[in-house]
A and B are shown apart, each in its own frame.
Chain A
Amino acid sequence: MTAAMLTCRRSDDDSLVITLSGDWLLRGDLPGIDAVLQEMNQPAKPSSIEFSTTDLGSWDTGLLTMLVAVHRSAADQAITVNESGLPEGARGLLTLAFAVKEREGARRTSVKVPFFARVGQTTSEALSSGRELLTFTGEVVLSFYRFATGTATYLRSDLAQHIQEAGAEALPITTLITFLIGMIFAFVGVMQLQQFGAGIYTADLVAIAMVREMAPIMTAILMAGRTGASYAAQIGTMKVNEEIDALTTLGLNPIDFLVTPRVIALLLMMPLLSLYGSAMGILGGMGVGLVMLDVGLMQYVQQTVEAVEQTDLWGGLFKSVVFGSLVAMAGCQQGMACGDSALAVGQSTTKAVVMGIVLIVISASVLTIIYINLDI
């Protein structure tokens, strides 16, 4: 490979002759067009530009990018370019490159948005996304009404599928998490309570914590990451593939068809998962309690049964119903609001999980305060 060279000279009729030699390959070291620009900017402008390429070796895009740059600057200065000296292939490619005029206003210039404008933008975006969520909630409520009156169109098999995915298939991970949470609570309880000789109250601690708070919250966060994210990704991808538009043109309401079955599935399955999670947590706590405390199985069970009241149970289950619907709504809303690219699907999945968890934590706090005031 011989080095690429570019030399300029003025011919007798005052045109600029650019002599190209060597191999003009992208991977080689290519000379710039500064020499050419200098010639063009001289007070006595060249009348035209010509090329001499008798010593030109092999070439690729490297040559073409240079030619395009020369062409552009020549056009700016209204100097004609005579391409006849160029290899035939390069001429063809140049013609092709300049065949389509640049579309008016196509080129972008980056605009730096000032700080306060960005703050304002972000705020108004947050507000409008809040409004969207509210609108969406309203639509889902209307859709529930249609479900109740039997006028909604959806696939029963779809609903069954969602119930299976959000219910039975979530059992292994729920088992693992709640069992370990129960054990952790029991450890903490035993360590502290034993100092007062009140070790047996570990059973109360674990049972009440699991049933009232931990099982609903942990299963909800689990489902936000597991099922809420999958709802957002599924519906978002459908949006990208125009499947939602296809439903709408068929006269099917996408909320009825896609969203409400998912919300119902999670609404039904969440209390069951939470109930199951409570049992697993109590079991985990019991394991730790029996090993670390000097109590018998019957005594521990007795203590647990006496600790938990029905209101604890109903309170916990109600929470999980609320969490379940929030998680499903966050997932579906983000899916429906998804943009139309793979990137957008990723963003709405992330948002669905974050939003789901935020909603869970906020509503858990609100519900706890309500429960305290109601003496539940």
Chain B
Amino acid sequence: MVDQQPHITARDLTIAFGDFVVQRDLNFTINRGDVFIIMGGSGCGKSTLLKAMIGLKHPASGEICYDGEPFWASSEREREDTKRKFGTLFQAGALWSSMTLAENIGLALKQYTDLSDAQIREVAAYKLMLVGLTGFEDYYPSEISGGMKKRAGLARAMALDPEILFFDEPSAGLDPLSAKRLDDLILELRDSLDTTVVVVTHELASIFSIGNNSVFLDPETKTQLATGDPRELRDHHPDLAVRNFLQRGAALGGGATEAIPA
């Protein structure tokens, strides 16, 4: 699996709702095995960018390439095939409420593999073990807590052993220990399965502990201000806004109020 080609590249990507441009001219590359952070202030279009990357929102212009193959320019069929390599964890888990956790995880397996029902259940049980939900196979999403829903959502995202995992605000709503555990899990998955991970977050602790590549979106100029290793950006990036964000406002003198643009 050693190839030097970048796993994901965005070229001049512009995303918009009708005439309203959310972000324009985004350019970044993600290598295989990267933990790539999409960060920026609230409302800067992080989640929308994620939607464009996983095929839910057509970009206004530009292209995203997976393994060098253009994603949006390809046919619907090819796009479906590419999407099968993705696993996505949505903000609130987005578990299907009419199915148990095991069925939630098993749906993709049922659809895309020839596994028997018993095997599917075994896989589901194992995925739940990975996220710390051992024994919760027969629970319905409405019977478990928000944090558990999130972890079950992660188990579902991992069902097909995806090459790329997308996370939308994974640690929001989790207690610090669960958030830490999730970070460990992300790194473990990256190390053991060579998974590429794309994370939308603004949790600084997570950004620095797991991220080795990132893009910083700015809601003011509506484009990216920086891309690269978040620790590098924090210490050496020329743009004050980037450093200020990554240092929790310390770059602008520490006052939190000054960090909020008027």
Contact = CB atoms under 8 A, between A and B. Distances in A.
Interface in B91-129: 97-98, 109, 113-115, 119, 122-123, 125-127, 129
B78 interface: no
A107 interface: yes
A350 to B, nearest CB: 13
B242 to A, nearest CB: 33
B55 to A, nearest CB: 23
Interface string A49-70: 0000000000011001100110
Contacts of B122: 65, 68-69
A112 interface: no
A344 B98 CA distance: 9
Contact of A60 (B129, B133, B193): B193
A169 interface: no
A106 B98 contact: no
Contacts of B125: 68
Contact of B129 (A89, A97, A107, A340): A97
Nearest to A110: B138
A340 B115 contact: no
Interface in A96-124: 96-103, 106-108, 110
A342 B193 contact: no
Interface residues of A, number: 31
Residue of A88, A98, A100 most packed against chain B (CB within 10 A): A100
A108 B97 contact: no
B191 interface: yes
Nearest to A60: B161
Contacts of B135: 102-103, 106-107
Given A92-B191, A103-B135, A26 B123 contact: yes
Interface string A337-350: 00111111000000
Contacts of A68: 122, 125-126, 129
Contact of B113 (A26, A88, A97, A340): A26
B115 A26 contact: yes
B158 to A, nearest CB: 8
Contact of B192 (A27, A89, A99, A100): A89
B136 A106 contact: yes
Contacts of B204: none
A258 B167 CA distance: 37
A341 B191 contact: no
B247 interface: no
A185 B220 CA distance: 67
B134 A102 contact: yes
A142 interface: no
Contact of B142 (A69, A92, A339): A339
A90 interface: yes
A134 interface: no
Contacts of B137: 107-108
B28 to A, nearest CB: 27
Given A89-B192, A92-B192, A97-B130, A61 B138 contact: no
Given A60-B193, A92-B191, A340-B142, A106 B134 contact: yes
B126 A65 contact: yes
Residue of B114, B141, B193 most packed against chain A (CB within 10 A): B193
A26 B126 CA distance: 13
Nearest to B132: A100
B239 interface: no
Nearest to B187: A92
Contact of A89 (B130, B142, B191): B191
Contacts of B129: 68, 97-98, 100
A64 to B, nearest CB: 6
A3 interface: no
Nearest to A67: B126
Given A60-B161, A64-B126, A100 B97 contact: no
Given A88-B192, A92-B191, A344-B142, A27 B114 contact: yes
Given A89-B193, A101-B134, A341-B142, 17 more contacts: A26-B161, A61-B123, A61-B161, A64-B126, A65-B126, A92-B192, A93-B189, A96-B188, A100-B129, A102-B134, A103-B134, A107-B138, A340-B142, A341-B140, A341-B141, A342-B97, A343-B97
10 contacts: A26-B113, A26-B161, A27-B113, A60-B161, A61-B161, A68-B126, A89-B192, A93-B193, A103-B135, A107-B137
